[in-house]
Structure 1
Amino acid sequence: MSSRLSLVRPMALVDAGRNGDSRDSGDFRSPLTLPPTRKPADRRGDDRKSLLRPVVSDRAVACCRPFLDLKSPLQQPVPSENSILRLLHRAAVSVEDAWDRARYRASAAVGRSRPRQIVAYQGYADRDGVWVGGRVLSDRPTGGPLDNDTWWNNLVNTWRRWESDEVPYAPVQVRFGGQFRELSADEEGYYHARFGFDRENIPDDRLSWLKATASAGSEGRQIVASHPVMITPANATCGIISDLDDTVIHTGITSLLLAAKLTFLENAKTRKPLDGVAKLYQALQRGHSAHPINPIFYISSSPWNLHDLLLDFLRLNEIPLGPLLLRDLGLDETKFIKEKGHGHKHRKALDLLAAFPQLPFVLIGDSGQEDPAIYAEIAAQLPHRIRAIYIRDVDPEFDTCRDTAVNRAKQLAEGHGVPMVLARTSMEISRHAESLGLLPMAALRDALPDSV
């Protein structure tokens, strides 16, 4: 099941209400504990030597033994918090798997389990070749937003995104540049493919986009989708890694009610970008070139279910396209959420730096979540690879704990020689980028007022 409605919150609601430290941790802490019960002292011995022993029923011990490796009920203490959570986790995984199997059998019985849609994600070429990925669904494509969509239409479309039905283990054929891969999707319908890549006849002075083709389904009912593949030119001067929520798209992370409204009741046409972000990103993508030359990657904690909405948003607002690196939500055998939100950002950013070892990078995020801490840690690990870090101030009118967190991150990054700028406007980012030589002087002076 792809929606995981009982476990996750969509898009900006993920981590929106924490107001505290939202760093990922593998040490799950449960609010449930089993207090030890005092056993009465042995009247036949010394009354002063009372014993403390947990009271656990034989049935409870028998249930926990497979997970706690108990040899005897009397040899083991009460299950720890982590042990209880592991037990609950395994039970949740079993319930989810059983539910997915039941839904798939029910869909197959009425002919709804066959592939009807391939969601083809944007791919890219790196030093090791070309990467593409996508997902096979049994839902029909819904199409993009319409001018007359109401809040109810938007709410229904949001529900459909979260309730999309994958086709587990669907056979998929992917073609790129004369190469062919025959794959099997995983249990959630996701597939990934790697191809070799020859840069001959690829322009060195601009970004190029090639195409990979994916197909699925039986003969006569085959569906086809295209993966745009971004090719970074040899003359690129830097790469850009950007967050999306409250960095590119206005999410209202500081207000839970506003974030819910924008997430559930708006669409790609009615959602608004931050002021000046399109012009700023176009300039960063061009650098000092006459054509787009620098690759942009969007790493977000939003789930893959929102890929179509985010892609439509970028296109409609003329924000430069680039691969969207989102995350998978749900359960697996080792953790409650397959890719934990901010750990996913850190890992994928480091993967990109490793994939493009010749490129320095600019990191752009916001102060609403953990971007400053994540980016500062990357700067501390690889200071020679990061030209600058830009953090959008989500509440510029107020001095809050978010500003304190940014200042801590700023000290860490700048201690390793990497500048971090807390910016109120796109123009502030542009002027600092100009001072580093990332943009030509006065790159946006005519395009943006100082207040944007």
Structure 2
Amino acid sequence: MPPSAEGAGSSPRPASSDATSSRPHRAARLEYAFDSRLAAFLQRRGWTARVEPYVGYGATGWVRVLGRVVLAGPGVRDADLPGVGAHPTGGAARPVTALRGWRSFAVVPLPFARVRAVVDGDRSELVADRGGFVDSVVDCSLTPGWHDVELVTVGGRTATVPVVVIGPDVRFGVVSDIDDTVMITRLPRPFIAAWNTFVRHDNAREPVPGMADFYRRAFGSHGDVPVLYLSTGAWNAAPAIGRFLRRHGYPTGPLLLTDWGPTNSGWFRSGAEHKRATLRRLLTELPGLRWVLVGDDGQRDPQIYAEVVQEHPERVLAVAIRQLSGTEQVLAHGAPAPAAGTASAEARTRRADVPLLQGADGAALLREWTSHGIGLE
């Protein structure tokens, strides 16, 4: 069981601004009232609970199970739901149709839904949060590698949730940002962000040149090195992101996203705090791993990674930062140069004797990786 876990059936989310108040913010209460009334209305008309599965992870003795309970109409098949019908190691089980981004957000969550998790034959009762999200650590004795967990709704609908169990002999792991690190998203300029997220087909998204090759050549030859994708993006986008990663040859791994919207303390979650809390959680849960942290200099990745390096230099093997072009920097934060504090953060990383790799694309980062002589043996 990981040191931070709260036990089977719990929802041990990373600490965030939600934890600053035991009483939800008024916006959160309004959101819950709307969602619960809409859910009750639709259930009376025959809509049923289904599970949208997300890739989970674990280690010896435990797995973190991730998913979301949503409502679907009587004529909707399980295979028609976003994210259902594909396995990270087995390819698509059915043809995947390109979807416009808004379809991933047009869902009706089922607040505080109860589901049964079946892990290696053992059953645990789990409870979703007010947004329908299941995020629970479950005791188990699974062997290292990929496994399937079943989540069963009260109505008997079953979804297969893949989880990767990291073995005790694994020594290294990778945490990768998504936006403008592996996928060109031109965030957070509002209109472009809205267009990319809600309007464009998910197969029209552009990969960052050379990044998939960098990941394959630096980490792919070590099949047991886990790659986890940490982003401030919404869980609603997880199915589209998963399809993007598979389509462009990135390593398969869990997505660690966030729930946009009201929290216990305000209207929106802090993306930076989500990343900080998740990184600290990974350091605690997986104490035997040293990490390669990959991000870009368009937002706060260099600062957040430098904080981890300062706190735990022995746990970071290297930091790799994709350098955005001047145009991309303007789109990211309104100025043609990296965000304030980036240079000092990079200097702190170097002073800690942790290799800092920098380049405009994957090919440049691979050259840096090779020239530093970094190995995963």
Structure 2 counterpart SS, 1:319 = coil
1:270 deviation in Å? 1.5
Give the % identical residues.
28
Write the letter of the residue equivalent to 1:414: R
User: Partner of 2:109: helix, strand, or coil?
Assistant: coil
- Matched to 1:210, the amino acid is H
Residue 393 (structure 1) shift = 1.2
Residue type of the alignment partner of 1:111: G
Equivalence for 2:146: 209
Q: Which residue of 2 aligns with 1:400?
A: 336
The residue number in structure 2 matching 1:162 is: 105
Check conservation: 2:102, 2:199, Cα contact below 8 A: no
Q: Are 1:279 and 2:213 matched, yes or no?
A: yes
Q: 1:429 aligns with which of 365, 371, 374?
A: 365
Larger radius of gyration: 1
Aligned pair in 2 of structure 1 residues 412, 183: CA closer, same or farther (>3 Å)? same
1:32-181 mapped onto 2 (5 Å cutoff)? 90-112=25-47, 114-115=48-49, 117-127=50-60, 129-139=62-72, 140=76, 141-142=80-81, 154=100, 158-181=101-124
Contact 1:135 1:190 in 2 (8 A): yes
Q: Deviations over 1:376-435 (max 9, x none)?
A: 111111111111111111215789331663211111212222232331121221122224
TM-score normalized with structure 1 length: 0.67
- In the alignment, the residues of structure 1 paired with residue 27 and residue 188 of structure 2 have an alpha-carbon distance, to the nearest angstrom, of 32
1:226 corresponds to which of 160, 168, 181? 160
Q: Quote the residue 1:320 is aligned against.
A: 251
Is contact 2:36–2:111 with CA below 8 Å preserved after alignment?
Answer: no
Q: Counterpart of 2:348 in 1: which secondary structure?
A: helix
Shift of 1:328: 1.4
Within 2, Cα distance between the matches of 1:148 and 1:347? 35
Conserved 8 A contact 1:406-1:422: no
Distance in 1, Cα, partners of 2:172 & 2:326: 29
Q: CA deviation at 1:266?
A: 2.0
1:386, 1:414 → 2: CA distance? 12
Residues 267, 146 of structure 1: CA spacing in aligned structure 2 closer, same or farther, 3 A cutoff? farther
Cross-structure match for 2:10: none
Write the distance in 1 (CA, Å) between the matches of 2:304 and 2:296: 11
SS state of the match for residue 410, structure 1?
Answer: helix
Aligned mates of 1:303, 1:254 — CA distance in 2: 13
Task: Give the TM-score, by structure 2 length.
Answer: 0.80
Equivalent in the alignment of 1:375: 305
Q: 1:127 to 1:347 in 2, by over 3 A?
A: farther
| Number of the residue aligned with 1:307 | 238
Q: Does 1:293 find its partner at 2:224?
A: yes
Q: Distance in 2 between matches of 1:254 and 1:107?
A: 34
For residues 258 and 191 of structure 1, the distance between their equivalents in structure 2, rounded to whole angstroms, comes to: 31
Q: Secondary structure at the match of 2:110?
A: coil
Letter of the 1:302 counterpart: G
Aligned to 2:357, the other structure's residue is in SS state strand
What secondary structure sits across from 1:401 in the alignment?
coil
**Is the CA contact (8 Å cut-off) linking 2:299 and 2:339 kept in structure 1?**
no
| Separation of aligned partners in 2, 1:427 and 1:439 | 17
Describe the SS at the equivalent of 1:335: coil
For residues 276 and 254 of structure 1, the distance between their equivalents in structure 2, rounded to whole angstroms, comes to 23
In the comparison of the two structures, how many residue pairs are matched?
336
Unpaired runs of 5+ residues, structure 2, are: 1-15, 84-93, 330-334
Q: Of Structure 1 and Structure 2, which has the larger fraction of its residues in strand?
A: 2
Distance 1:142 1:129, change over 3 A: closer
The verdict on how the C-alpha distance between 1:183 and 1:235 changes in structure 2, with shifts beyond 3 A counting, is closer
